[in-house]
Amino acid sequence: MKQMLTVANKEFHDGLRNRWLVSITLIFALLSVGLTYFGAAASGAVGVASLSTTVASLASLAVFIIPLIALLLSYDSFVGEQESGTLLLLLTYPLSKSQLLLGKFIGQGGIIALATILGFGASAILLYVQLGDENILSAFGLFIFSAILLGLSFTAISYLISLSVSEKSKAAGFALITWFLFALAFDLALLALLVGVEEGITQQGLTQLMMLNPADVFRLVNLTGLDNSEVNGALAVVINAGLSQTQLISALVAWVVLPLTLAIFIFKRKKL
């Protein structure tokens, strides 16, 4: 346990030193404050938009940017140390592979979690001060919580990449492809399936397919709570199918735990 915290502490400080925390927090804060104020600009007014519009637009932006940041932050976690030789050295220490992996996860996950809380929390407070609505805090609470889970999920996924390749540049390439598949291609494929194939897929089936992508689960978590009028497209269909919030959150948690377990498994069989 102590060794694990030592690793976590080092990774967290690396995140601070490399300005990751500051930059991510800044990006999140700018995005959310900007959207909060100018989200309604399309309808001709500048000012604080309605709560559901804000959360909806934040969620659709976060779904692209959080996975990208998480992948960038940790794609070289293992392959980088392998290239520099410190991974082999660390494994001769009284430190098990799972301790090392979980330590890294706690440290880098901590950076993402803290940045999410600070960045998006800023606009929650701003909105609350402006509108004084209690609902804001609970809506943002859920949004921030699910955003953290999304970040952790992609951190775990990037560990899978980092442990499966032997060169840093390859890991970077795979991270980019992974991001493209989950954030963009998956939804396009679903849409094609929905529109192109007649009688091809039931509403139930679509919902189940969406569980295969943590980014979609995150979207569902944040849109089911809102007025249906704000949401359209494939998502609306799924929302009507009605999965409970608890189920969705559990799916997101599973998307953190499963890749992490698989990463430990791969690490244990990895040839050094």
Quick note: the x/- pattern for other proteins over 199-218, rule CB under 8 A, is: --------------------
Count Cβ neighbours within 10 Å for each residue of 101-117 and write b for 16 or more, e otherwise: bbbbbbbbbbbbbbbbb
DSSP string over 99-126: HHHHHHHHHHHHHHHHHHHHHHHHHHHH
- Note whether 172 binds other proteins by CB under 8 A: no
Least Å from the CB of residue 194 to other proteins: 46
- Note whether 16 binds other proteins by CB under 8 A: no
Q: Which is nearer to other proteins, 86 or 130 (CB)?
A: 86
- Note whether 3 binds other proteins by CB under 8 A: yes
Name which of 213, 250, 266 is nearest 235 in CA terms: 213
Least Å from the CB of residue 81 to other proteins: 9
Q: Which two tokens stand for residue 211?
A: 């569980």
Q: Which is nearer to other proteins, 107 or 214 (CB)?
A: 107
Our CA angle for 254, 256, 106, nearest 5°, is 145
Coil/strand/helix, residue 180 = helix
- Note whether 272 binds other proteins by CB under 8 A: yes
Question: In terms of DSSP H, where are the helices of the chain?
Answer: 2-17, 20-38, 51-74, 79-84, 86-91, 97-131, 134-164, 168-180, 186-196, 203-210, 214-224, 234-241, 245-269
Name which of 49, 51, 50, 52 is nearest 37 in CA terms: 49
- Note whether 19 binds other proteins by CB under 8 A: no
Q: Which is nearer to other proteins, 197 or 271 (CB)?
A: 271
What part of residues 95-134 is at the interface with other proteins (CB under 8 A)? Answer: 95-96
- Note whether 257 binds other proteins by CB under 8 A: no
Q: Which two tokens stand for residue 227?
A: 């007025």
- Note whether 23 binds other proteins by CB under 8 A: no
- Note whether 14 binds other proteins by CB under 8 A: yes
- Note whether 251 binds other proteins by CB under 8 A: no
Least Å from the CB of residue 48 to other proteins: 41
- Note whether 6 binds other proteins by CB under 8 A: yes
Q: Count residues near other proteins (CB under 8 A).
A: 22
What part of residues 42-101 is at the interface with other proteins (CB under 8 A)? Answer: 84-86, 88-96
- Note whether 166 binds other proteins by CB under 8 A: no
Name which of 44, 102, 105 is nearest 74 in CA terms: 105
Name which of 113, 95, 114, 112 is nearest 7 in CA terms: 95
Q: Given the rule CB under 8 A, which of 3-11, 115-123, 131-139, 178-186 is the region that contacts other proteins?
A: 3-11
Using CB under 8 A, list all residues that contact other proteins: 2-3, 6-7, 10, 14, 17-18, 84-86, 88-96, 271-272
